[in-house]
Structure 1
């Protein structure tokens, strides 16, 4: 992978029909940080907010968590998240990587006490888990 590509940030997304968690990460350190949550209405993202994040961070690629049942079977949200991937590719002309994910929100909620959950952007932290896992699994080139 070219040095310039390795130094570009990545944006990770935890797609939901009402909220989309967003995290930022980088390949050099293989780390991710929760960023924000973008609202969605009836499964339609706030594209102006997504555009603003892409303009601000200038990512080299996007990573979207694709949820599956524990047995690996697809679910309704699997198809919705894949549609979101296609929409991101079409709108922003950036590489979009699909990261298989299961239970990212559950992982975050179990790390936090009830008080911490009330004051935490769980969707953004779920996006962090998705992006962090993807970065850890990405092969070194």
Structure 2
């Protein structure tokens, strides 16, 4: 079983993959969004290339646990993703994952330019790892 984690944003989609046992998540790439067709085609390519069986999409909730406009967009994206790829898609609370990823990169003294290039796939890896950790207990 291999999972794919996604950090869905307005301009990019951060992509992470689990190992084949579903224990660890690693950032794979950042998709620069163009059209929905191209975005879904690239996601399909990744699922086929790596044998992905389930997808986890980060759900940005407000700090009071409500779902705002950005969360609604992610819910709609995940439903379309499920219909398009025909595989299970899970939503996972992504609050503070980008903050955590940024903090980790700052502590590692990564330059601002490089942080910008990897932050989305690192956030996707954190979303996926948190999902897998919660389901391994």
C-alpha root-mean-square deviation of aligned residues, in Å? Answer: 1.9
Write 1 or 2 for the structure with the bigger share of helix: 2
Q: Which runs of 5+ in 2 are unaligned?
A: none
CA contact (8 A) 2:2 2:21 kept: no
TM alignment of 1:23-34, pairs within 5 A: 23-26=16-19, 28=21, 30-34=23-27
Spell out, residue by residue over 1:86-110, the C-alpha distance to the aligned partner (whole angstroms, 9 max, x if none).
Answer: 0111001101111111011111001
2:127 is aligned with 1:130: yes
Write 1 or 2 for the structure with the bigger share of strand: 1
Q: Partner of 1:112: helix, strand, or coil?
A: helix
TM-score, normalising length: structure 2: 0.87
Aligned pair count reads: 132
CA contact (8 A) 1:23 1:131 kept: yes
TM-score, normalising length: structure 1: 0.85
- Counterpart in 2 of 1:3? none
